[in-house]
């Protein structure tokens, strides 16, 4: 799906890119609006939008003596060849990528436990939830039950690990040994052997209310070593050891209904709409940049005029990092590529040097993808080699000039006050993440644990993973906005602080969920609903600016275990109102 949909979008771009001359300007503007709007809905849609935009430009401007359907068929043939090569070069061991993804979750958990009580804890938690999300994507098809069950065990471990991180106290070094052994066992598809079990400070909950992670490891792992701690009066959730017991037991989780459900990706939830505020803002931004660059290129010359709008389309892409840094790296990479071609052409005479250059740069693309400037340099050498093969030996100066013009144009258009509204670009994504966090919090506070505990645990894992995924996306958008130039206008909320507090709210909700598994009291329904309605009101204030709506207060007190949750909710409400 991740490769097929963008390939089909590119073929569609070659089909509709039939306009020539100045008729291409309105066509590219309309396609740019559409591509910018749909790119906000997800990574697959974003990749498809890039292919549709770029291939429409190439269809209009590249002088290929073939009809549109023939160009689209050639493009699909190339995409099919790439997919075939990917299948032929996959690891010979079955499910290798899936095992690596699940093992990476256990490794990230071990790193997070090592970072507990230090300033590395919050970045470690983000890496942990990202690894869990990637593993869920790898196992989306659910074709291996054992790996799905082990991912479910990792999910239960992650929940307990987040609670441990929130305690902000250093943990014994041996606590990370268990997850590392589990990671090695998953990679080797073998038993992990005895695992260290921390001493519990609270009695084990009854089976009907305990965590759904107390069944055997699916391959019959020997019992873990260690002793249970002495009994005593329960102190629900008051220490790291109280929460570490379910983490150790999660390593022995077996196949069950909750495990299989938790291993699947989060349930279907309403996504960002392309016709929302962010979609409209992105669409207008991309459409104006691409149409203006096409008009400028056609006004300057007719040969290779498509280079300028293609460069603008890549630069204005809204989810590829801060605009200014993209422009700087694009220009630097183009200069490096042009200088490299200028050095190669005299040193390697003959008609075959472009073939060698394309082969070398093609091999470098996977490595060059780590930095936008390096990727641009590799692509520049590839494109100029192709053009040289077609008989144009003086295209390098034009390529550099087009890149310079596109950079200047995108900087100008991208920072116009009407097109640089961070509330439209970040606010909708932050509101989307807050609504997912509210659904997770609502489930943690109000769901009855006594009825169908396996289903309840599975649903909680789905909502938690979806909340953390959308919060990570909102934080990335906030970081991009913070790194960009601000053209002026009314100041909006501090987006980065808001998303950080939203992530801490999810952490606090996860910690309370573990505490409630250990006997912490449930809040009264009116007080819990006041919390979730306050969070929903904050999301509405971000998505639909206006006077914030304050839910009616209640006199019902919250349990002390929810003090951290309530504090984060009120901080988010204050930031959203500002």
Q: 115-168, pLDDT tens digit by residue?
A: 998 999 999 999 999 998 888 888 876 567 888 888 888 888 888 899 888 888
Is the same domain home to 178 and 60? Answer: no
Chosen domain end from 263, 294, 326: 263
Higher pLDDT, 19 or 10: 10
Half-sphere exposure of 198 (CA within 13 A, CB side): 27
Split at pLDDT 50, 70, 90, the class of 235 is very low
Domain span holding position 539: 423-577
Is the same domain home to 289 and 326? Answer: yes
Tell whether the model's pLDDT for residue 108 goes beyond 90: yes
Is the same domain home to 252 and 297? Answer: no
Mapping DSSP onto H, E and C, the string for 376-425 reads HHHHHHHHHHHHHHCCCCCCHHHHHHHHHHHHHHHHHHHCCHHHCCHHHH
Chosen domain end from 382, 397, 418: 418
> Where do we find the tokens 């979609």?
279
In a domain, 272, yes or no: no
Q: 431-456, pLDDT tens digit by residue?
A: 999 999 999 999 999 887 666 667 88
Q: What are phi and psi of 222, to 5 degrees?
A: -60, 155
> From CA 199, how far away is CA 195, in angstroms rounded?
13
Q: 352-401, pLDDT tens digit by residue?
A: 777 888 888 888 888 888 888 899 999 998 888 888 777 777 788 888 88
In a domain, 469, yes or no: yes
pLDDT at position 240: 41
In a domain, 252, yes or no: yes
Cα separation values, 52 from 289, 335, 378, Å: 16, 27, 22
Chosen domain end from 207, 232, 263: 263
> From CA 126, how far away is CA 286, in angstroms rounded?
31
Write the DSSP assignment of 297-361 as a string of letters: HHHH-STTTTHHHHHHHHHT-TTSS-HHHHHHHHHHHHHHHHHHHHHHHHHS-STTHHHHHHHHH
pLDDT at position 98: 86
Is the same domain home to 412 and 434? Answer: no
Tell whether the model's pLDDT for residue 206 goes beyond 80: no
pLDDT at position 554: 64
pLDDT at position 221: 38
Split at pLDDT 50, 70, 90, the class of 347 is confident
Q: What are phi and psi of 303, to 5 degrees?
A: -85, 130
Is the same domain home to 104 and 245? Answer: yes
Is the same domain home to 323 and 377? Answer: yes
Higher pLDDT, 478 or 389: 478
Query: To 5 degrees, how large is the angle CA 370–CA 371–CA 377?
Result: 115
Class of residue 107 by CB neighbours under 10 A (exposed 0-12, middle 13-18, buried 19+): buried
- CA 404 to chain centroid, in Å, comes to 31
> From CA 242, how far away is CA 499, in angstroms rounded?
29
Is the same domain home to 461 and 475? Answer: yes
Is the same domain home to 435 and 335? Answer: no
Is the same domain home to 333 and 249? Answer: no
Is the same domain home to 405 and 305? Answer: yes
In a domain, 102, yes or no: yes
Give the list of residues 6+ apart from residue 165 with CB closer than 8 angstroms, or none: 112, 115, 116, 121, 122, 124, 125, 507
Mapping DSSP onto H, E and C, the string for 127-172 reads HHHHHHHHHHHHCCCCCCHHHHHHHHHHHHHHHHHHHHHHHCCCCC
Kindly provide the b/e burial profile for residues 38-59, where b requires at least 16 CB atoms within 10 angstroms of the residue's own CB: bbbbeeebbbbbbbbbbbbbbb
pLDDT at position 490: 56
Split at pLDDT 50, 70, 90, the class of 220 is very low
Residues in the chain: 578
Tell whether the model's pLDDT for residue 1 goes beyond 90: no
DSSP state of 426: I
Token readout for 273 is 């709409």
Residues 417-437, mean pLDDT to the nearest whole number = 79
Is the same domain home to 564 and 525? Answer: yes
In a domain, 484, yes or no: yes
Q: 13-32, pLDDT tens digit by residue?
A: 999 888 888 888 999 999 99
> From CA 414, how far away is CA 402, in angstroms rounded?
17
Higher pLDDT, 114 or 362: 114
Is the same domain home to 107 and 252? Answer: yes
Residues 479-498, mean pLDDT to the nearest whole number = 75
Number of structural domains, the chain? 3
**Are 113 and 162 in contact, with CB atoms under 8 Å apart?**
no
**Are 236 and 518 in contact, with CB atoms under 8 Å apart?**
yes
In a domain, 471, yes or no: yes
Split at pLDDT 50, 70, 90, the class of 482 is confident
In a domain, 370, yes or no: yes
In a domain, 274, yes or no: no
Tell whether the model's pLDDT for residue 228 goes beyond 70: no
Q: 503-540, pLDDT tens digit by residue?
A: 999 999 999 998 888 888 888 888 888 888 999 899 88
Alpha-carbon Rg for the chain in angstroms: 27
> From CA 279, how far away is CA 428, in angstroms rounded?
9
């Amino acid at each position: 799906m991740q490769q097929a949909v963008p390939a089909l979008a590119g073929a569609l771009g070659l089909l509709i890119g039939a306009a020539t001359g100045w008729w291409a300007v309105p066509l590219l503007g309309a396609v740019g609006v559409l591509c910018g709007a749909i790119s906000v809905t997800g990574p697959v849609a974003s990749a498809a939008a890039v292919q549709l935009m770029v291939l429409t430009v190439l269809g209009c401007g590249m002088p290929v003596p073939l009809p549109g359907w023939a160009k689209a068929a050639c493009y699909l043939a190339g995409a099919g060849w790439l997919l075939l090569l990917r299948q032929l070069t996959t690891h010979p061991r079955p499910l290798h990528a899936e095992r690596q993804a699940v093992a990476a979750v256990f490794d990230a958990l071990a790193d997070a436990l090592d970072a507990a009580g230090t300033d590395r804890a919050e970045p470690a938690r983000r890496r942990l939830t990202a690894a869990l999300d990637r593993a869920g994507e790898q196992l989306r098809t659910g074709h291996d039950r054992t790996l799905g069950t082990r991912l479910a065990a990792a999910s239960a471990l992650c929940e307990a690990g987040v609670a441990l991180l929130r305690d902000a106290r250093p943990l014994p070094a041996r606590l990370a040994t268990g997850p590392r052994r589990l990671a090695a066992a998953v990679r080797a598809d073998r038993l992990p052997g005895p695992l260290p079990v921390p001493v519990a400070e609270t009695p084990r909950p009854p089976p009907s209310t305990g965590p759904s992670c107390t069944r055997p490891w699916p391959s019959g792992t020997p019992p873990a070593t260690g002793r249970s701690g002495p009994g005593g009066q329960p102190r629900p959730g008051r220490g790291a050891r109280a929460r570490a017991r379910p983490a150790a037991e999660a390593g022995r989780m077996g196949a069950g209904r909750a495990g299989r459900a938790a291993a699947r990706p989060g349930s279907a939830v309403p996504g960002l709409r392309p016709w929302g505020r962010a979609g409209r803002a992105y669409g207008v931004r991309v459409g104006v940049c691409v149409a203006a660059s096409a008009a400028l290129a056609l006004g300057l010359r007719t040969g290779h005029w498509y280079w300028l709008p293609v460069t603008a389309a890549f630069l204005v892409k809204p989810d590829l990092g801060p605009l200014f840094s993209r422009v700087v790296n694009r220009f630097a990479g183009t200069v490096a590529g042009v200088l490299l071609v200028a050095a190669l052409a005299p040193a390697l005479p003959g008609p075959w040097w472009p073939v060698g250059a394309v082969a070398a740069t093609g091999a470098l693309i996977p490595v060059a993808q780590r930095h936008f400037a390096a990727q641009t340099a590799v692509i520049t050498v590839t494109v100029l080699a192709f053009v040289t093969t077609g008989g144009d030996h003086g295209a390098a100066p034009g390529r550099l000039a087009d890149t310079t013009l596109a950079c200047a144009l995108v900087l100008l258009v991208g920072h116009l006050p009407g097109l640089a509204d961070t509330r439209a670009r970040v606010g909708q994504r932050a509101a989307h993440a807050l609504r997912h966090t509210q659904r997770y919090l609502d489930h943690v506070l109000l769901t009855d644990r006594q009825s169908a505990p396996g289903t309840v645990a599975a649903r909680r894992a789905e909502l938690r993973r979806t909340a953390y995924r959308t919060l990570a996306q909102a934080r990335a958008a906030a970081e991009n906005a913070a790194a960009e130039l601000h053209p002026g206008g009314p100041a909006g909320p501090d987006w980065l602080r808001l998303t950080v507090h939203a992530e801490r709210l999810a952490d606090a909700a996860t910690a309370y969920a573990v505490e409630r598994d250990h006997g912490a009291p449930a809040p009264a329904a009116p007080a819990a609903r006041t919390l979730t309605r306050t969070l929903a009101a904050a999301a509405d204030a971000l998505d639909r600016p206006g006077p914030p709506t304050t839910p009616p207060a209640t006199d019902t007190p919250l349990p002390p275990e929810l003090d951290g949750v309530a504090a984060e909710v009120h901080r988010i409400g204050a930031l959203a109102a500002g």
